[in-house]
Amino acid sequence: MPTKKKGRADGRCQIRIDLGFTPDGKRVRKSFYGRTRKEAQEKADEFRRALKKGLNVDAQYMTVFEWAQQWFEIYTASASQITRDLYRTVLNAQIIPKIGGLRMREVKHADIAKLYNSLEGYSKSLIQKVAIVTNGIFRTAIENGIIVRNPALGHKKPEGTVGERRALTKLESETVIKNWRSHPSFIWAMIMMLTGLRPSEMVALQYRDIDTTNGNIHIRRSAQLLNNKTTVNDNKGKTPRAQRDIPIFPRLQPVLSALQGAPTEHVYKGIKGGILTKSSLRTGWEHFCKIMSDALGTEFYCTPDDLRHTFATILFDAGVDLKTAGKMMGHTDAQITMLYTHLSKNKENESHDALKKHMEELFPLDPHSDPPYYRYK
């Protein structure tokens, strides 16, 4: 490939290389520009090296931002809307601001290490998502001939913080039940606390799902809350066992009896009477926590998921076996159900007393047959 060098009217240097001929015999050339001949030559040499490695020469100057946009549109197209929204947030908030301006072929292992180091103190879940997206961007770039090696591999990432869920105390649970008429959000809270519904299942709950005749709540659908748009998916849940029936316990009867609506109407509605949105859920939950704080005389806060954890703990304290508890929670794995249980103090004391009694029966103390303790002198 002979090289021609010449200057331009704008003062830049131009280097043009021959790439061969088209099928109809026309010569193919490519030009490179620089403020100096050396700069133009370096660009031409980089192009030749890319050709030799079989890289996509059209992507020679592609930035992380440019390829990340293509990666998102192409490789997340089949993912759920919730997953796509999470990945978009990770891209816009963490990855693009830090390495988006770098060319894909210039990103070094150290650049990705700095990205991960900047996540110190963030949640473990966020760090995992950043790693998934970052690795996906560079792995698919290799598959498309944009880069040769993946700089996102072989990193030690920050541990990350783990937000711990909790179960409501007996006093807090009793306060929820006592105040269920005070605000619509308490109906939400009480149903979740006494059924273990997921927040997405509670949003999608309709009056036809409440079967007071047979004493069951039928879980048959779930909702996706995306900003101010909520989508309900019929016959679909988070896990294969999400569709289930949960018994209506006596304490929940008066609450459900007070609710009235058309069969396909949603039990818990937004401010304007329509299906609940993310913003209206947030507003309602703030009211719930405020009323709870006033009722308890101290600052109170919990998440909707904490109510689900409360139900799991009630099942555990009641001695419900793991298989049955997992079915009621909609879990496919009993080990997941165990993560939701929080040992209450009463149950812990009962367990200690039972263990102590069992030990005494297993190894009874006999002061007459036990030899005296020998002290070494």
pLDDT digits (tens, 9 = 90+) for 185-225: 898 899 999 999 988 899 889 999 999 888 889 998 888 87
pLDDT score recorded for residue 224: 80
> What percent of the chain is modeled with pLDDT above 90?
28
**pLDDT grade, residue 62 (50/70/90)?**
confident
CB distance 15 to 46 below 8 Å: no
Residue 92 has pLDDT above 70, yes or no: yes
pLDDT score recorded for residue 375: 46
Residue indicated by tokens 């005494």:
360
**pLDDT grade, residue 111 (50/70/90)?**
very high
For 377, residues 6+ apart whose C-beta sits below 8 A from its C-beta are none
For 78, residues 6+ apart whose C-beta sits below 8 A from its C-beta are none
Residue 5 has pLDDT above 60, yes or no: no
Could you list the beta-strand ranges (E) of 157-309: 210-211, 216-219, 221-226, 229-234, 244-247
User: Comparing 265 with 342, which gets the higher pLDDT?
Assistant: 265
Could you list the beta-strand ranges (E) of the chain: 3-7, 13-21, 27-34, 210-211, 216-219, 221-226, 229-234, 244-247
Residue 376 has pLDDT above 50, yes or no: no
**pLDDT grade, residue 1 (50/70/90)?**
very low
Average pLDDT rounded to a whole number, residues 8-31: 74
Report how far residue 362's alpha carbon sits from residue 154's, in angstroms, rounded to the nearest whole number: 53
Residue 130 has pLDDT above 90, yes or no: yes
Average pLDDT rounded to a whole number, residues 341-349: 55
CB distance 337 to 325 below 8 Å: yes
In three-state secondary structure terms, 216 is strand
Report how far residue 90's alpha carbon sits from residue 11's, in angstroms, rounded to the nearest whole number: 43
pLDDT score recorded for residue 322: 78
Residue indicated by tokens 């770039």:
141
Report how far residue 344's alpha carbon sits from residue 316's, in angstroms, rounded to the nearest whole number: 9
Q: How far apart are the first and last CA of the chain?
A: 95
Residue 134 has pLDDT above 70, yes or no: yes
Backbone angles phi, psi at 25, to 5 degrees: 95, 5
CATH topology of domain 64-143: DNA polymerase; domain 1 (1.10.150)
Average pLDDT rounded to a whole number, residues 312-322: 81
Residue 230 has pLDDT above 60, yes or no: yes
Report how far residue 265's alpha carbon sits from residue 149's, in angstroms, rounded to the nearest whole number: 54
pLDDT score recorded for residue 291: 94
**pLDDT grade, residue 135 (50/70/90)?**
very high
Round the average pLDDT of the chain to a whole number and report it.
81
Going from N- to C-terminal start, the domains of the chain cover 3-52, 64-143, 170-340
Residue 363, class by beta-carbon neighbours within 10 Å (0-12 exposed, 13-18 middle, 19+ buried)?
A: exposed
Check: CATH 1.10.443.10 for 170-340?
Answer: yes
pLDDT score recorded for residue 212: 86
- 225 is written with which tokens? 């809350």
Compute the C-alpha angle 74/76/78, nearest 5°.
100
Residue 373 has pLDDT above 50, yes or no: no
In three-state secondary structure terms, 15 is strand
**pLDDT grade, residue 132 (50/70/90)?**
very high
CB distance 329 to 340 below 8 Å: yes
In three-state secondary structure terms, 275 is strand
